[in-house]
Amino acid sequence: MSSPAVTYFEDVEVGSRHETPAMTVTQAHVNMYAGVTGDHAPEAGLAPPLFALCLSTGLGWRIARPPLVVIAFMGIDWKIERPLRVGDTVRSRSQTMVKRSMREAGVVVEEHQIVDQGGDVLQHGRFTFLVAKKEALT
């Protein structure tokens, strides 16, 4: 049985960019998100701001590439520039900014943007991950 392909710290390339497929945000998304989390939209017709942030990671999984072997999601530094409206079609763009080797794993910092159908950046910021090393497993 072979393991699925994954990306370890050693194979992360600083500067690499990815863009996800787009998704149209519907009232159903907003209702389900609000129901699960208890976090509601500030007004009718808008999505809760954190919902867009949550989509950023979910959309990332739709890129056909071996996923990062994330040990821990360490932190977020995030800015919200424009509201996400029901009916907007958004995609996520990311770029690897920094990789820093630690003893048994490595830190990877990615810049993420949530972009709407008109190309406007709604939200953006940095995600910091702790990523497994190949050598630590052998």
Partner 1 sequence: MTGPPRRYFEEIEVGETYESPGRTVTETDIVLFAGVSGDYNVIHTDAEFMKTSIFGERIAHGLLGLSIQSGLLTRWMTPYASLGVAGLRWKFKNPIKIGDTIRVRAEVTGKKETSADQGVVTLARTVVNQRDEVVQEGETDVIVERRRE
Q: Decide if residue 50 touches partner 1 (CB under 8 A).
A: yes
Nearest distance from residue 95's CB to partner 1, in Å? 19
Binding span for partner 1 by CB under 8 A among 11-19, 35-43, 95-103, 109-117: 35-43
**Contact with partner 1 (CB under 8 A): which of 37, 89, 101, 117?**
37
**Contact with partner 1 (CB under 8 A): which of 14, 32, 98, 121?**
32
One-letter-per-residue 3-state SS of the chain: CCCCCCECHHHCCCCCEEECCCEECCHHHHHHHHHHHCCCCCCCCECCHHHHHHHHHHHHCCCCCCCECEEEEEEEEEEECCCCECCCEEEEEEEEEEEEECCCEEEEEEEEEEECCCCCEEEEEEEEEEEECCHHHC
**Contact with partner 1 (CB under 8 A): which of 18, 29, 93, 99?**
29
Distance in angstroms (rounded) separating the CA atoms of residues 122 and 20: 15
**Contact with partner 1 (CB under 8 A): which of 25, 59, 108, 122?**
59
Which spans of this chain sit near partner 1 (rule: CB under 8 A)?
23, 29, 32-40, 42, 46, 48-51, 53-55, 57-59, 61-62, 67, 70-80, 83, 125
